[in-house]
Structure 1
Amino acid sequence: MELKTSARMDQLAPSGIRKVNEKALAMERAGEHVIHFEIGRPDFDTPEYIKKAAEAALDKGDVFYTSNFGTLELRQEIANKLKRQNNVDYKASEVLVTVGLSEAVFAVLAAILDEGDEILVPDPAWLNYHNVPRMLGAVPVTYSLKEENGYQMDLAELRSKVTDKTKAVVIITPNNPTGGVLSQDTLQGLADLAIEKDLLVISDEVYERLIYDGEKHISIASLPGMKERTFTMNGMSKAYSMTGWRLGYVAAPEAYIAVLNKFHQHNTTCAPSFVQTASVAALRDEKNEVNDMVKEYQRRRDYAVKAINDIPGLSCLCPKGAFYIFINCKSLGKPSAELASYLLDEAKIALVPGDVFGPGGEGYLRLSFANSYDNIVEGCKRLAQAVAKLRQ
């Protein structure tokens, strides 16, 4: 029988990250020892107090549908968190709980983009922001995040790309894949432009707690005149090591939340009830769990950055956020996809080719240091040996 799929699916590219991961897993099944630097997930277990809250919720029968918006208790706790940590005064009615940040992205883009609309997206960036607009018939227009600019956006370039079809700008801070953190001056410049041109801002802040060297995360919605035009998106995955729990959220003006909820109702109904209960505990009862993880991430980062910069042919900036190092491999003279394949075959280390994140990522490899310190030491050793062999 003929395969009868929609034309819109042709606009949705497969995940380049998962392509690397699937090959690495197949090699492991064949008995190879692969070091995983490709997957962007914490390697820590979910903190015990969160797991116990989920167990208690299940024991008391917390297994039914909740409000489509999410439980009032969780939405209020998220609003409290946004006020306490991000200096943005949201109400519970301005929060929608989603099944992971991925659903939040799809819901927001589906709610605001019509066919032919343009949306400014960073390059390089997590590819959902490139693929989903195309699937919706909208046009992603890229703006550059360059190493020589510390991965800050060039506001003059951004301004030059605004047209009468531009509806929104996407920012990811801290950034995946670069680890860059947008500065207050950059955010203020973007805020001024958004107000002048009447643009919406989609602010992906899922890595906000993973910050190093005294850097500060600033939510753009906290700047004057920005809350009304910003979708603040976050989730439990990265900070609390809850990737498999699938709990995200969007904070935005109440009128937008009502529209987002229409998509959410038909897409997933609600996030799992007991996960919502556990997420209340995660936000309310946190002590030093996240800070302890961040300290260990920084220890790993510090080792890996030095080791990479000591390898002839490779270099990298020291990331100020997230758990990624974006390795400049341009001097090796090979396409990033070819180099990543070589390193996986030759050294049994799985890294993501930078072009997966857009054309601006060509010439780079993304390394996730969400892996054990020992594996990072061994992986960097293998990386050095494989690059030295390649350069002979």
Structure 2
Amino acid sequence: MVRKIQASRRALGMNYAIREIAVPAAKLAEQGRELCMLNIGDPNKWDFETPAYFKNALRKAVDHTDNGYGDSQGNPEFRQAIVDREFEKHGTRITPDKVFVTSGVGEGINLLMGALVEEGDEVLVSGPGYPSYHQYVDFYGGKIVSYRLIEDEDWIPDVDMMRKRITDRTKAIVVINPNNPTGAVFDEKVLREIGDLAAEMELPIISDEIYDKITDKPFFSMSRLPSDVTRTILNGFSKVNLMPGWRVGYGYFMDESGMLDDVWEGLMKQCRARICPNVPCQWAAQASLQGPQDYIVDMNRRLRDRARFSYERLNEIPGISVREPQGAFYMFPKVELNGIWENDKQFVLDLMNEEGVVVVHGSGFDPEFGQGHFRTITLPRIEVLANAYDKLERFMIRHKA
């Protein structure tokens, strides 16, 4: 008998809902089913295209760099370009020595949690919230403690609940703004309240701001909080810069007190162990920061039209209700399960099997505050969205009859 090696609990315990739902969808596609894939926030799969000068910069990078290893922390010129861009966007003054470059924000989350979390430590994350935080906190032996986003108030963070759920094991507070999966953009007032709480409790904030230029309202970066608030800001190039497959992200520390000195060193050790980020893509991503940004205006206009259409159409469907998104390109509708479906995942699977519309179950974004919902995207053209919503309506009517 051949010996079987057991996989680690850490690996088998990972369940990234956004991609996991693609597994049964792929099986349907293999059977010849036509599917409308509304599960992944990839603008380039629809009618958004990486600007030509970004692509030209990458071609030149391959020819004009030596294609050897780069700096483990990220190329110094690229880190300086990030510093300049953050000042241009938010008036934020940071230094390149506290910037680190990653293979997308996903690697940034992994590196941070690897440096921050010990067995039994707790990290506060919004419910609902981006699943990678759940996955990597758990991977390193920690525990996610969710704080509620208040749906009836356009998904604003419940700061009172956040305070009540802080314990002596809490290591950080994660804020995802603009928010994935709800599409909410948090007001400056509530972000300052979170900053005040973090300073009072001597906790660092991890602020995920990858959608910072995709908003319908003014965006307030947590990098603008007072200096007594210790922060790590995460951002990347997949969304605003329309280069998701290039896998370039970054983070920076704002830590006047030195609270995170050891965490920074632990993060740098991991950066050195992974050798370096992709060198040509860094060169091209730098060009994307320094060239024309007018494409963002057109992108936001199209997304705004599609979000408005989706908001109005989804609220017409029996058993479905949704808050209007203010940023990113997601919506998080509530579905009346009414005992027809055991849970939101069963709802999503039945919708996929019967109508070929692929969305993500809300409990995959938080088992406590995401259940009874699903996440969809507003990236497709309106005629594609209209067809998907017609199928959703037919599905709801059939099961409510």
TM-score bin (small chain):
over 0.9
Three-state SS of the structure 2 residue aligned to 1:131 is helix
1:125-183 C-alpha deviation (Å, 9 max, x unpaired): 11111121122122221111131232111111111111122121001001111111121
Counterpart check, 1:165 vs 2:169: yes
Is the Cα–Cα contact under 8 Å of residues 212 and 219 in structure 2 kept in the other structure? yes
**For residues 328 and 244 of structure 1, do their structure 2 counterparts lie closer, same or farther at Cα, with a shift above 3 Å needed?**
same
Counterpart check, 1:296 vs 2:302: yes
Map of 2:350 onto structure 1: 342
Is the Cα–Cα contact under 8 Å of residues 95 and 251 in structure 1 kept in the other structure? yes
Counterpart amino acid of residue 58 in structure 1: V
With normalisation by structure 2, the TM-score equals 0.93
1:364 to 373, 379, 382: 373
Counterpart amino acid of residue 22 in structure 2: N
Map of 2:190 onto structure 1: 186
Displacement after TM superposition at 1:61 (Å): 3.9
With normalisation by structure 1, the TM-score equals 0.95
Map of 2:271 onto structure 1: 264
Identity %: 30
1:390 to 376, 396, 399: 399
Counterpart check, 1:216 vs 2:188: no
Three-state SS of the structure 2 residue aligned to 1:297 is helix
Counterpart check, 1:26 vs 2:27: yes
Map of 2:245 onto structure 1: 244
Q: Distance in 1 between matches of 2:228 and 2:325?
A: 27
Q: What pairs up with 1:110-129 in 2 under 5 angstroms?
A: 110-129=114-133
Q: What CA RMSD, in Å, does the superposition of the two structures yield over aligned residues? A: 1.6
Counterpart check, 1:230 vs 2:239: no
**For residues 295 and 8 of structure 1, do their structure 2 counterparts lie closer, same or farther at Cα, with a shift above 3 Å needed?**
same
Q: Distance in 2 between matches of 1:308 and 1:226?
A: 43
Three-state SS of the structure 2 residue aligned to 1:203 is strand
Listed as ranges, the gaps of 5+ residues in structure 2 are 256-260
1:314 to 310, 320, 326: 320
Three-state SS of the structure 2 residue aligned to 1:252 is strand
Counterpart check, 1:89 vs 2:96: no
Q: Distance in 2 between matches of 1:23 and 1:9?
A: 20
Three-state SS of the structure 2 residue aligned to 1:361 is coil
Displacement after TM superposition at 1:332 (Å): 4.6
Is the Cα–Cα contact under 8 Å of residues 15 and 135 in structure 2 kept in the other structure? no
Q: What pairs up with 1:125-164 in 2 under 5 angstroms?
A: 125-164=129-168
Is the Cα–Cα contact under 8 Å of residues 16 and 132 in structure 2 kept in the other structure? no
Displacement after TM superposition at 1:253 (Å): 4.2
Counterpart amino acid of residue 263 in structure 1: Q
Range with bigger deviation, 87-96 or 231-240? 87-96
Map of 1:373 onto structure 2: 382
Q: What pairs up with 1:49-68 in 2 under 5 angstroms?
A: 49-68=53-72
Range with bigger deviation, 40-49 or 96-105? 40-49
Counterpart amino acid of residue 118 in structure 1: E
Displacement after TM superposition at 1:7 (Å): 3.4
Map of 2:18 onto structure 1: 17
Is the Cα–Cα contact under 8 Å of residues 313 and 332 in structure 1 kept in the other structure? no
Listed as ranges, the gaps of 5+ residues in structure 1 are none
Q: Distance in 1 between matches of 2:103 and 2:293?
A: 25
Counterpart amino acid of residue 392 in structure 2: L
1:42-82 C-alpha deviation (Å, 9 max, x unpaired): 13221111000000111224422111111111101111111
1:7 to 2, 6, 9: 9
Counterpart amino acid of residue 271 in structure 2: H
1:14-52 C-alpha deviation (Å, 9 max, x unpaired): 222222222223322322221111111113221111000
Q: Distance in 1 between matches of 2:10 and 2:226?
A: 38
Counterpart amino acid of residue 280 in structure 1: Q
Is the Cα–Cα contact under 8 Å of residues 17 and 131 in structure 2 kept in the other structure? no
Q: What pairs up with 1:316-335 in 2 under 5 angstroms?
A: 316-330=322-336, 332-333=338-339, 334=341, 335=343
Q: Distance in 1 between matches of 2:191 and 2:299?
A: 27
Q: Distance in 1 between matches of 2:33 and 2:288?
A: 37
1:304-348 C-alpha deviation (Å, 9 max, x unpaired): 111101111111000111111111102554321111111111111
**For residues 153 and 362 of structure 1, do their structure 2 counterparts lie closer, same or farther at Cα, with a shift above 3 Å needed?**
same
1:331-388 C-alpha deviation (Å, 9 max, x unpaired): 5543211111111111111011101111211110111112232211211111111111
Three-state SS of the structure 2 residue aligned to 1:234 is strand
Is the Cα–Cα contact under 8 Å of residues 14 and 139 in structure 2 kept in the other structure? no
1:187-213 C-alpha deviation (Å, 9 max, x unpaired): 11111111111001000111111101x
Q: Distance in 1 between matches of 2:267 and 2:219?
A: 26
2:52 to 44, 48, 51: 48
Three-state SS of the structure 2 residue aligned to 1:116 is coil
Is the Cα–Cα contact under 8 Å of residues 96 and 257 in structure 1 kept in the other structure? no
Q: Distance in 2 between matches of 1:362 and 1:184?
A: 28
1:68-111 C-alpha deviation (Å, 9 max, x unpaired): 11111110111111111122101111110111111100111111
